[in-house]
Amino acid sequence: MSEATPHDSAPLSEEQQIAAYCEKGRTHWPDEPVVALKTASVQSQIEDTFYEHYLRYFQNAEAKRRWSVVDDIPWAEARGNASELVVSIIESFCAVESFLPDYTSKIMALIRRSRGRALFQANWGYEESKHSLALEGWLIASGKRTEDEMEDFERSLLGAEWKLPFETPRQMICYTMVQELATGLNYINLRRLVHETGEGDPCLDKALRWLSSDESAHYNFFRKGVKTYLALDPEGTVADLKYVFDHFAMPAHALIPEWERRGAEIEASGIYGPKMYLAKIRKPVLEDLQISRTMLKTAGLPSHEADALADKIETKAEIAEQALYPRLRSLPTIPTQRPSTTKTLLTV
């Protein structure tokens, strides 16, 4: 991950790139505080918030992010100079995407009673279906695989079935938040590998841009859902976060033939691996959730890492506040008496 900024300034550090990717999905949807209503149950507030989140997500997707597999990828510019390593990695990602019917149906059954999450799940399935089509399309358009070879490969996966890794809706939204960030970074790192090895391919580059953009938006939806849970049930949510972090694994790897070899290729290429998980996935997620020092420790970070990350989060919050309210901070304080309210603002 060593891309320059849009204005060709000095390349961003890997930490900066991960942070920028986390924020990308909320460019048109900034965070808003969750307000707890004393007159409504926690569950009803969670469901209302999820539905509002879905409407915002859908509106942004329709207005700014929809893309066509047929029209928005330059298939005529696919090249056949990619290494077998890159081809094998893309084929591996295709295999993971091929379990989409399981991902969609199993999660939908779990969260069916949540209107906002169920509608999002349906939309998520549509967007993810384009990812497997784009990856498979490039393998064929580049001449690296034939249609018959891809059909044989897909048939080799049909006997396996993915199962939910966690049992509750809250644990699963924690899991999908982490998994979507990891998947998006996979695509970014694959683009980096293709560029660094001199295997530039305009078709593949564009496809991976679309895929990583979708994954960033998915991560942001799930992250906002986790922040809602944190605001309304902090103790239970942090406990679930820790449990998910402690038992996290990317989906379907155990179901894919020769995954030991494929996984080793992906890790050796610097795209993703268990050793990268703590530094490049778990810590960035915890930082992006902007939770308190105590929560960071409860979520499983060692004390010294939690303190360092909490200091960083607090510094960023102070800088953001100063940038947002420079004039207000210079005005004298005027005492006012506010009427009582039935709402309590919760911050995480």
Percent of the chain with pLDDT over 90: 72
Hey, what are 298's tokens? 């409860």
- pLDDT category of residue 322 using cuts at 50, 70 and 90: confident
- With tokens 């993703």, the residue in question is 272
Please report the pLDDT score of residue 38 as a whole number. Answer: 57
Of the listed ranges 153-162, 216-225, 274-283, the one predicted with least confidence: 274-283
Domains located in the chain, CATH noted: 42-275 (1.10.620.20)
Please report the pLDDT score of residue 7 as a whole number. Answer: 41
Mean pLDDT confidence for 156-172: 94
Which residues are bridge partners to 343 per DSSP? 37
Mean pLDDT confidence for 33-42: 67
Mean pLDDT confidence for 71-99: 95
Please report the pLDDT score of residue 36 as a whole number. Answer: 57
- Residue 242 has φ and ψ, to the nearest 5°, of -60, -45
Mean pLDDT confidence for 23-48: 75
User: Within its chain, how far is the Cα of 167 from the centroid?
Assistant: 20
Q: Tell me: the pLDDT tens digits for 281-302?
A: 999 999 999 999 999 999 999 9
Q: Looking at the predicted structure, is the pLDDT value of residue 348 above 60?
A: no
DSSP for 318-344, written as a single string = HHHHHHH-TTGGGSPP----PPP-SEE
Which H or E run contains 228?
Answer: helix 202-232
- pLDDT category of residue 345 using cuts at 50, 70 and 90: very low
- Residue 89 has φ and ψ, to the nearest 5°, of -65, -45
Q: Which of 300, 274, 271 is nearest to 286 (CA)?
A: 300
Question: 150 near 87, Cβ under 8 Å?
Answer: no
Q: Looking at the predicted structure, is the pLDDT value of residue 331 above 60?
A: no
In Å, the largest CA–CA distance within the chain is 76
Please report the pLDDT score of residue 62 as a whole number. Answer: 95
Question: 141 near 202, Cβ under 8 Å?
Answer: no
- pLDDT category of residue 274 using cuts at 50, 70 and 90: confident
Please report the pLDDT score of residue 116 as a whole number. Answer: 96
Q: How high does pLDDT run on average in the chain?
A: 87
Please report the pLDDT score of residue 233 as a whole number. Answer: 93
Q: Looking at the predicted structure, is the pLDDT value of residue 3 above 80?
A: no
Cα angle 94, 127, 255; round to 5: 30
Which H or E run contains 131?
Answer: helix 115-141
Please report the pLDDT score of residue 26 as a whole number. Answer: 75
Could you give the CA distance from residue 248 to residue 274 in angstroms, rounded to a whole number?
Answer: 10
Which residues are bridge partners to 346 per DSSP? 34
Please report the pLDDT score of residue 203 as a whole number. Answer: 96
Could you give the CA distance from residue 137 to residue 204 in angstroms, rounded to a whole number?
Answer: 10
Contacts of residue 211, defined as CB under 8 A and 6 or more positions apart, other chains included, come to: 131, 134, 135, 184, 187
Q: Looking at the predicted structure, is the pLDDT value of residue 335 above 50?
A: yes
Hey, what are 273's tokens? 């691996």
SS3 category, 314: helix
Q: Tell me: the pLDDT tens digits for 190-247?
A: 999 998 887 789 999 999 999 999 999 999 999 999 999 999 999 999 999 999 999 9
DSSP for 150-208, written as a single string = HHHHHHTTTT-----SSSSHHHHHHHHHHHHHHHHHHHHHHHHHHHHTT---HHHHHHH
